[in-house]
A and B are shown apart, each in its own frame.
Chain A
Amino acid sequence: MTGADVVVVGAGPAGLACAVTAVRHGLTVDLVDAGWAVGGQYWRHPAPVEGADGAGAVTAGEVAHLHHDLPTYRALCSRLEEAVAAGRARTFLGHEVWTVGRRDGGWEVAATQRRAAGGRHAPGGGELRVAAPALVVATGAYDTSLPFRGWDLPGVMTAGGLQALLKGHAVAAGRRVAVAGSGPFLLPVAVGLAESGAEVVGVYEANPPTRWGRHLPAVARNVAKLAEGAEYAAALARHRIPLRTGRMVVEALGTDRVEAVTVARLDATGRPRPDGRTTVAVDAVGVGWGFTPVVDLAVTAGCATTRTDDGRHVVAETEGRTSVEGVYTAGETTGVGGAALALAEGERTAYSVLADRTGHDPDAARLRHLDRRIAALRSFAAAMAQAHAVPAGWVDATAAETLVCRCEEVPRAAVDHALRDREARDARQVKQLTRAGMGWCQGRVCEAGCRALVADRIGRPDRSAATERLVAMPVRMRDLLGTP
């Protein structure tokens, strides 16, 4: 097989569903993912032992108890395996896509092999370049962090980071762990930790449950979500994990690593109250404020983005088609909505590719079903975003010397100075004056915090455009040689 009809970047629920659907309807597919197995964030896998080349199928194996909906996963995997065996699909796992560009009227995806688990580069090196008339960007999302006092201490991580350690390495990050931030995602993280033997001292959810009150219609359309919630509530109770709402971690304390966290109650306006703070001993804490879509490759391809109410950029699309011809998207790149939505969108997008590539009219009843399902799940996602918004007073958990950008060691005071005393009016200008977001992580960790800080200081959402990252993953120069 040379040159597939579609190249899909991202083998999470969205990319997987898209690839399998496309193959089922006669298209050939190349599927590329940085992970060592298909499944994405939802069905995340341990890294292979050192020396493995990432080509072998790695199954959920010993972390199976952490995964949901494994039958769906296994069904998708076996259909993908059949397609690979039949020469209708190729998978390129352990491949980090560093960029995309136009090639021969279509799109080329350029990737390099990821370092093996031991930190060494895979043997061979070089570049993988696959081109196709249609490109699907299904790169998902990663969890959002906001700075607070002590957040740079070892042992402080994101809620997703806790989860990744568990699913990816089958280890709990600590023996006494606090989970904080906002969103339903905190619950599975806490339960997973407890099931792995850690003591979860508390789940501190910033928003009161009453915020869901306004969104009952959206909840009613998604009964499965209610059931999921009830399941987690039961699991929390079973493991005696206290769920404390209207609270947030305002400081991590410790010298060489985190030893305790200070938890404050939030007032009605979302500001941490000075009274009644408690200090809880922990050896790890995970704080998560929802998810930030990974739109880098889509932006590089020239796709338009829109800004959500909470200030995050998502790829603009209709039925999976972006603003750029031949470029499609699905899953969290279009807005954060969970795995079920990602699966539905992946399938929907495959039908759009199919229609555009072949003129073939896909199954109308199936499309109607998918569109209804996507609409319902999106209404739930919108409700969730509002019910679990970042509280207005999050900045009170920072001090002037709190680093907002850790790579470049930029304290909050420097951002304040740029906005107050210099000519910076938006996040882009703040970045240029302070270097916040210019270091190793290229703002992937600190951009949400910087934008939120700017919004707080200027009193309205930051309006600067989505950050362009033409290099989506760091790429070793040696790997680029010899393929002019």
Chain B
Amino acid sequence: MGRVVVIGAGIVGACCALYAARAGWEVVVVDREGVAAGTSSHGEGNLLVSDKGAGPELDLMLSSRRHWLALGDELGREGLELDEKGGLVVAASEAAADVWRAFATGQREVGVLAEEVDPVDLEPRIVDGLAVGVHYPQDLQVQPVLASQTILEAATRLGAVLRSGSPVVAAQRTASSSTWRLRLGDGTAVEADRVVNAAGPWGGEVSALLGGPVPVLPRRGFVLVTEPVGPIVRHKVYSADYVDNVGSSDAGLQTSCVVEGTRGGTILIGASRERVGYDRSMDPDVVRRLAAQAVALFPVLADVRILRTYRGFRPYCPDHLPVIGPDPRCPGLVHACGHEGAGVGLAPATGAFVAAMLSADHGRAPVEVDGVATAPFAPGRFGEAVPA
């Protein structure tokens, strides 16, 4: 064991820090701003199994879900605002319903609970005349900012240290190649035996600076927040075309909203997907589209006011899977980024992966962690020549 530096104090970095500290590593978390200053405070906290088809991401999510429940027991659900809220997917037409039934069949085979329901039974205020609803009791929710804090504080109690306010600007490996020296923007340096790249959408830039580039790009999303209106939406509700959008590689704008109520009584409506780099400009059309879709699902929302909208940048990989694992080109570097729109959900399992990989020999990651195959997430999958 030695010292590991985790770059990034978002939800993924926080989980990496906690699991590494539990494994006995001396952990330093470095963030250019502070805890959850990046995407983890600009998205939502849906922990969805429902939107993932059978495959590696769903396997990772099912494992992560167990980790989230365990974290809830260990750290207290309140500190994470962990809720077993459940999801409801609805389809308007019989054709869409059939497509979703096939999708759900695949999910059930790997252990997802998915039950066909009449949407009105679960959501009395939902629009009339929907063809079908599928209830996913395993969908959870957390508050990502609180969760990042609480998890990082748990790591701190095990000796982890947070250095915030200054970015990593350069990295060197010592001659023997066995240790790293990271230089920060404030002129100081940190030495480490291992480095974890948990820089979210900036994971591409950070990986390049570390000498092991991986292709992570930003994918913008807007979320709407309404005035408090009480519990008119009880689950996470979305329409069946959502999954097509999530999986799309189209750079253009896609919207298909997920509507849910929060503890404070506000309704969250998210989220659009669009590849426009780090363009922060307001796009009123996105708000209009999300609002129209939300009203289509819940007509009562028409008279509810939007108080706020915000946007974040999902860390996006070309194949829609996160990059988790040791970099074959750089001994001591482990990537943990590119989780796109599921990084909150996948964070604890990612932490467990990283902890298991830190102690593995260079390049020889364990084949499985918690029973989940590691190969689909390996950085090596992009080949040596990494696309820009």
Seen from chain A, the residues whose Cβ lies within 8 Å of a Cβ on chain B are: 98-102, 108, 110, 300-302, 408, 422-426, 428-429, 432-433, 435, 438-440, 442, 468-471, 474-478, 480-481, 483-484
The distance from the CB of A400 to the nearest CB of chain B, in whole angstroms, is 21
Asked whether, in the complex, the Cβ of B309 is within 8 Å of the Cβ of A470, the reply is yes
Contacts A110-B284, A470-B308 hold; do A476 and B303 have CB atoms under 8 A apart?
A: yes
Question: Which residues of chain B come closer than 8 Å to A110, judged between CB atoms?
Answer: 284
Among the stretches B51-59, B290-298, B325-333, the one at the interface with A is B290-298
Q: Is B162 an interface residue (CB 8 A)?
A: yes
**Residue of B280, B287, B301, B311 with most chain A CB atoms under a 10 A cut-off:** B287
Instruction: Decide if A108 touches B284 in the complex (CB within 8 Å).
Output: yes
With a cutoff of 8 Å between Cβ atoms, the chain A residues found around residue B281 in the complex are 101-102, 302
Q: What is the bound-complex CA distance between A484 and B164, given in angstroms?
A: 42
**Do A476 and B305 form a contact, CB below 8 Å, given A423-B153, A440-B228, A481-B292?**
yes
Collect the chain A residues with CB atoms within 8 Å of residue B228's CB.
439-440
- Besides A302-B280, A468-B310, A483-B288, 16 other A-B contacts (C-beta < 8 A): A101-B281, A101-B285, A102-B281, A423-B149, A423-B164, A435-B264, A438-B264, A439-B228, A470-B308, A470-B310, A474-B307, A476-B304, A477-B291, A477-B303, A477-B306, A481-B291
B229-265 with Cβ < 8 A to chain A = 264
Q: Which residues of B contact A100 (CB under 8 A)?
A: 282, 284
**Secondary structure class of chain B's binding surface, majority of residues:** mixed
Query: Does B227 lie within 8 Å of A474, measured CB to CB?
Result: yes
Interface-located stretch among B34-42, B181-189, B344-352: B34-42
Interface CB pairs A-B, < 8 A, 21: A101-B281, A101-B283, A408-B264, A425-B164, A433-B149, A435-B264, A439-B264, A442-B308, A469-B308, A470-B309, A471-B287, A471-B306, A471-B308, A474-B305, A474-B306, A476-B302, A476-B303, A476-B304, A477-B295, A477-B305, A480-B306
- Tell me whether B152 is interfacial, beta carbon within 8 Å: yes
**Nearest chain-B residue to A101 (Cβ)?**
B284
Whether the pair A477, B308 counts as a contact (CB closer than 8 A) is no
Contacts of A483 on B, CB cut-off 8 Å? 288
B interface residues with partner A (beta carbon < 8 Å): 34-37, 41, 145-146, 149, 152-153, 162, 164-165, 226-228, 264, 280-285, 287-289, 291-292, 294-295, 301-311
CA–CA, A375 and B281, complex, Å: 33
**A98, A300, A426, A475, most chain B CB atoms within 10 A:** A475
Chain A residues with CB under 8 A of B304: 476-477
B331 CB to nearest chain A CB (Å): 31
Are A477 and B283 in touch, CB under 8 angstroms? no
CA distance A119 to B35 in the complex (A): 42
Enumerate the 7 nearest inter-chain pairs by beta-carbon distance, A residue then B residue, closest first.
A474-B305, A478-B302, A101-B284, A477-B291, A432-B145, A480-B291, A480-B288
Q: With A471-B306, A477-B301, A477-B304 in contact, is A423–B292 under 8 Å at CB?
A: no
- Which one, B145, B226, B289, contacts A433 given CB within 8 A? B145
A99 to B295 alpha-carbon distance, docked (Å):
20
| Chain A residue nearest to B307 in the complex (CB) | A474
Indicate which residue in A300, A433, A442 contacts B146 across the interface (CB closer than 8 Å): A433
Chain A nearest CB: distance from B292 CB in Å?
6
Complex interface: chain B residues within 8 A of A428 (CB): 37
- A471 pairs with B309, CB closer than 8 A: yes
What distance in Å separates the Cβ of A296 from its nearest Cβ neighbour in chain B?
11
Cβ contacts under 8 Å, A108 to chain B: 284
CB closest residue in chain B, given A300: B282
CB closest residue in chain A, given B226: A477
Known A481-B291, A484-B285; judge A471-B307 contact (CB<8 A).
yes
Greatest chain B CB density within 10 A among A301, A435, A468, A471 is at: A471
Given contacts A470-B282, A484-B292, contact A429 B35 (CB under 8 A): yes
Chain B residues near A478 (CB-CB < 8 A):
295, 302-303
Closest to B305 in A: A474
Q: A101-B281, A471-B308, A477-B295 are in contact. Are A425 and B165 (CB under 8 A)?
A: yes
In the complex, the chain B residue whose C-beta lies closest to that of A429 is B34
CB-CB under 8 A from B302, the residues of chain A are 476-478, 481
A300 CB to closest chain B CB, in angstroms?
Answer: 5
Complex alpha-carbon distance, A455 and B247, angstroms: 45
In the complex, A484 Cα to B291 Cα: how many Å?
A: 10
Contact across chains for B264 and A423 when beta carbons are under 8 A apart: no
Closest residue on chain B to residue A129 by CB atoms: B284
Closest to A435 in B: B264
B175 to chain A, nearest CB (A): 36
The answer for the CA separation of A422 and B283 in the assembled complex, in Å, is 35
Q: Name the distance in Å between B206's Cβ and chain A's nearest Cβ.
A: 21
Q: Which of A100, A110, A302, A470 has the most CB of B within 10 A?
A: A470
Once the chains bind, are A484 and B289 in contact (CB under 8 Å)? Answer: yes
Query: Smallest distance from the beta carbon of B281 to chain A beta carbons, Å?
Result: 6
Chain A residues with CB under 8 A of B264: 408, 435, 438-439
Closest to A108 in B: B284
What residue in chain B is nearest A483 (Cβ atoms)?
B288
**In contact, B152 and A423 (Cβ under 8 angstroms):** yes
Contact residues in A for B152 (Cβ distance below 8 Å): 423
B311 contacts across to A, CB distance below 8 A:
470
A423 CB contact (under 8 Å) in B162, B227, B282, B305: B162
Query: How long is the Cα–Cα vector from A392 to B71 in the complex, in angstroms?
Result: 43
Min CB gap A475→B, angstroms: 5
In whole angstroms, how far apart are the Cα atoms of A45 and B228 in the complex? 30
Chain B nearest Cβ from A428, distance in angstroms: 8
Residue in A99, A440, A481, A484 whose CB lies within 8 Å of B282:
A99
CA A480 to CA B273, docked complex, whole Å: 20
Q: In the complex, what's the smallest C-beta–C-beta distance from B73 to chain A, in angstroms?
A: 21
Q: Which of B36, B162, B307 interacts with A432 by CB under 8 Å?
A: B36
Which residues in B have their C-beta under 8 angstroms from that of A468?
310
Q: Which residues of A contact B285 (CB under 8 A)?
A: 101, 484
B residues less than 8 Å from A484 (CB atoms): 285, 288-289, 292
| Chain B neighbourhood of A481, CB < 8 A | 288, 291-292, 295, 302
Q: Judging by beta carbons under 8 Å apart, are B34 and A425 in contact?
A: yes
Chain A residues contacting B305 (CB-CB under 8 Å) are 474-477
Q: How far is the CB of B11 from chain A (nearest CB, A)?
A: 13
Measured in the bound complex, the distance between the Cα atoms of B305 and A384 in whole Å is: 39
Report if A440-B307 is in contact (Cβ < 8 Å); known contacts: A433-B149, A481-B291: yes
Q: A98, A423, A469, A477: which contacts B294 (Cβ < 8 A)?
A: A477
Bound state CA distance, A471 and B287, in angstroms? 10
A300 proximity list for chain B (CB < 8 A): 282
Taken together as a complex, chains A and B put the C-alpha atoms of A13 and B366 apart, in Å, by 69
- Closest chain A residue to B289 by CB distance? A484
Whole-angstrom CA separation of A426 from B35 in the bound complex: 11
A442→B307 CA distance, assembly (Å): 8
Chain A nearest CB: distance from B21 CB in Å?
15
Q: Complex Cα distance A442/B282, Å?
A: 18
Most chain B CB within 10 A, of A102, A302, A477, is at A477
Chain B residues near A470 (CB-CB < 8 A): 282, 308-311
CB distance from B303 to the nearest CB of A (A): 6
- By CB atoms of chain B within 10 A, which of A100, A102, A432, A476 has the most? A432
Q: Are A480 and B287 in contact (CB under 8 A)?
A: yes
- Distance in angstroms between the alpha carbons of A110 and B162 in the assembled complex: 43
Tell me, in angstroms, the Cα distance from A425 to B34 when the chains sit together: 8
Chain B nearest CB, measured from A301 CB (Å): 8
Please give me the residue from chain A that is nearest to B40 by CB atom. A432
Give Cα distance in the complex from A423 to B308, angstroms.
25
A480-B304 Cα distance, complex, nearest whole Å: 11
| Distance, CA A425 to CA B33, complexed state (A) | 10
CA distance A425 to B165 in the complex (A): 9
Distance in angstroms between the alpha carbons of A198 and B246 in the assembled complex: 62
Q: Nearest Cβ in chain A — how far from B227, in angstroms? A: 6
B219 vs chain A, min Cβ distance (A): 18
Closest chain A residue to B144, Cβ basis: A432
Q: In the complex, A426 Cα to B152 Cα: how many Å?
A: 17
